[in-house]
């Protein structure tokens, strides 16, 4: 079973973030530019929340608010579910399933060191299952 550390080692380095006072339009532009579905919201170097395309759709678009006049802090999720480097992919899958979320910030020693998405988790599970299947087929064939 893989750990979050192993997932992050396989990803491109870097975390994309925005400040809580930035207009939502800036967050949407950055997500589109980086082709990601969520941004961490950082305030003075500390994790303050997370903002996603889902937050935008539900809290701006559907409520008829202005993307230029609404601050990120008004739509972000402040109660962020995070994981640590030594957490397993199984634990992460449980969290995203139970909480119905798609992104898990990775926090170690009080600092954000990465983000794991549901896509990263599904890819790891599929790769692990394929490896196990290959091993079983080799065992049966021998």
Q: Report how far residue 129's alpha carbon sits from residue 125's, in angstroms, rounded to the nearest whole number.
A: 6
Name the H helices within 20-117.
Answer: 24-34, 53-56, 72-75, 89-99
In the Cβ-directed half-sphere of 95, how many Cα atoms lie within 13 Å? 20
pLDDT at res. 25: 97
Tell me how many degrees the CA angle 50-51-55 measures, rounded to the nearest 5. 135
pLDDT at res. 141: 87
Q: Report how far residue 43's alpha carbon sits from residue 76's, in angstroms, rounded to the nearest whole number.
A: 12
Consecutive sets of 10 residues in the chain, 142 residues long: mean pLDDT of each? 92 92 97 96 95 95 94 96 96 95 95 95 89 84 84
Q: Is residue 51 within a helix (H) or strand (E), and if so which, with residue range? A: strand 46-52
- Please check whether the domain covering 4-141 is classified as CATH 2.60.40.1080: no
pTM recorded for the entire structure: 0.87
- Give the largest Cα separation in the chain, rounded: 66
Q: Is residue 106 within a helix (H) or strand (E), and if so which, with residue range? A: strand 103-108
pLDDT at res. 127: 87
Q: Give me the residue spans of the domains in the chain.
A: 4-141
């Amino acid at each position: 079973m893989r750990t979050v550390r192993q997932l992050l080692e396989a990803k491109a380095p870097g975390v994309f973030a925005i400040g809580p006072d930035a207009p939502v339009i800036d967050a949407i532009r950055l997500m589109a530019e980086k082709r990601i579905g969520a941004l961490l919201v950082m305030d003075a170097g500390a994790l303050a929340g997370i903002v996603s395309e889902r937050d935008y759709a539900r809290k701006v678009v559907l409520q008829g608010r202005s993307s230029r006049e609404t601050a990120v802090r008004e739509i972000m999720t402040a109660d962020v579910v995070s994981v640590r480097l030594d957490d397993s992919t199984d634990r992460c899958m449980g969290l995203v399933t139970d909480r119905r979320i798609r992104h898990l910030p990775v926090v170690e020693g009080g600092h954000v060191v990465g983000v794991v998405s549901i896509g990263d988790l599904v890819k790891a599970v599929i790769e692990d299952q394929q490896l196990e299947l290959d091993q079983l087929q080799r065992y049966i064939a021998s």
